Amino acid sequence: MTRKSGDASRSTIRDVAARAGVSASTVSRVLGGVYPVSAATRGRVMRAVRDLDYVADARAKAIAGVGTPTLAFVLEDITGPSFAHMAHGVEREATRLGHLCLVCSTEGDVRHELEFVEMMRAQRAAAVILVGGTADTPEYRERTHRMADSLASAGSRLVLCGRPPLDPGAPVTVIEYDNEGGAYTLVAHVLAQGHRRVLFLGGRTDHTTALGRERGYLAAHRARGLTPDPALLLHGDFTRDAGHRLMQQALKDDLDFTAVVAATDMVAAGALTALHEAGLTVPGDVSLAGYDDIPFARDLHPALTTVHVPYEELGRLAVRTALEHTPGAPDEHLLLGTHVVVRDSVGPPAPHQRR
């Protein structure tokens, strides 16, 4: 077994050329593979390459115009299961299409987001995918529109994935999934079981994903001629801890409800534990539903009724659509459907609770 001597610094194409007794161009051509090179020369070059354990500098190739393209993925926190699944879809599709994949977590900080997008522009990323809901303010639209223009003028492309669209004219690809529709169907299902007081464990009040789901909740009520009690709308993070805390508080405050709809499965998980801790059964005493259909949802007890979102597909679509986009072509705006997965956590309200 031969081990290369650890020559402290990487070798260049010229080192290889010198060792093979040819010019750098020849080495480049041998490695490129297309240009005709005699077998003998090719052999010597390959030998030198192996001896020196040479790999061409990807950055140098990139600036010469023959590099592996890169694609960037900016999200809030890879730890969220739905983000992770999107990331997985993005990563798979990116490598399938021969792209490298950079990921950045913003931790929810807008400044980080801006910095990262600027960096990705400097990296000449083929596309930048921004993932996850956000506050849909004029400032957001303005800032993001600017990003889109910057990237577009650099030959790159901004993709908004599960994020509110911009004003028409912004050079941006938008891939959304139907938060409002999914929540509407889910809450309609809950109401159809006979529930009339449904607690909603929502997200931050400025967050589009949370807001969309909340709108669905309200719309489903309206469609039945109901007006939900505002006291039943609670707000927190999209974490199991927030769900746990909110649910505890709701029980402590003695809120009157027969069902709970959580804005995400994680929130539902925390809420479920709080219900259990309070000695309540689900769906006997209280019904519970989530949103996202993460793999774990089946393993809650009872198995969680929730809304399935094709997160991985979302990610794959985001990169495919972005990379297929040709400048000048119309901007795509895709809206993926969701569907309710009925499991065991929603049932009719207990007889004594009916009104």
Partner DNA sequence: TCCGTCCAGGGAACCGGTTGCCATGCTGTT
Partner DNA sequence: AACAGCATGGCAACCGGTTCCCTGGACGGA
Which chain residues interact with DNA by CB under 7 A? 10, 12-14, 21-29, 31-32, 35-38, 40-42, 54, 56-57, 60-61, 63-66
Tell the smallest beta-carbon distance from residue 262 to a second copy (Å). 12
What would the two tokens of residue 64 be?
Answer: 């010469």
Among 10, 14, 50, 222, binds a second copy (CB under 8 A): 10
**111 touches a second copy (CB under 8 A):** no
- Closer CB to a second copy, residue 219 or residue 303? 303
50 binds a second copy (CB under 8 A): no
E runs forming strands in 29-169: 70-75, 100-105, 127-131, 158-161
Considering only the stretches 35-43, 113-121, 192-200, 210-218, report the one whose residues sit in contact with a second copy under the rule CB under 8 A. 113-121
Q: Which tokens sit at 127?
A: 């596309």
- Give DSSP secondary structure letters for 209-253: HHHHHHHHHHHHHHHTT----GGGEEE--SSHHHHHHHHHHHHHT
Q: Does 79 bind a second copy (CB under 8 A)?
A: yes
Interacting stretch for a second copy, rule CB under 8 A, among 24-32, 102-110, 173-181, 228-236?
102-110
Residue 34 tokens read as 């297309």
Q: What is the closest distance, in whole angstroms, from the C-beta atom of residue 26 to DNA in the complex?
A: 4
The Cα–Cα gap between 321 and 332 comes to: 8
Backbone angles phi, psi at 294, to 5 degrees: -75, 155
User: Which of 97, 82, 148, 88 has its CA nearest to residue 121?
Assistant: 148
d(CA 102, CA 99): 10
CA quadruple 257, 259, 263, 268: dihedral positive or negative?
Answer: positive
The stretch near a second copy (CB under 8 A) out of 28-36, 105-113, 182-190, 330-338 is: 105-113
Using CB under 8 A as the criterion, what x/- string covers residues 145-184 for binding a second copy?
----xx-xxxx---------------x-------------
Task: Report the C-alpha gap between 304 and 296 in whole angstroms.
Answer: 9
Binding site for a second copy (CB under 8 A): 1, 3-4, 6-10, 53, 55-63, 67-68, 77-79, 81, 84-85, 87-88, 91-92, 95, 100-105, 107, 112, 118-119, 121-124, 142, 149-150, 152-155, 171, 239-241, 266, 269-270, 272-273, 276, 295-296, 298-301, 303, 327
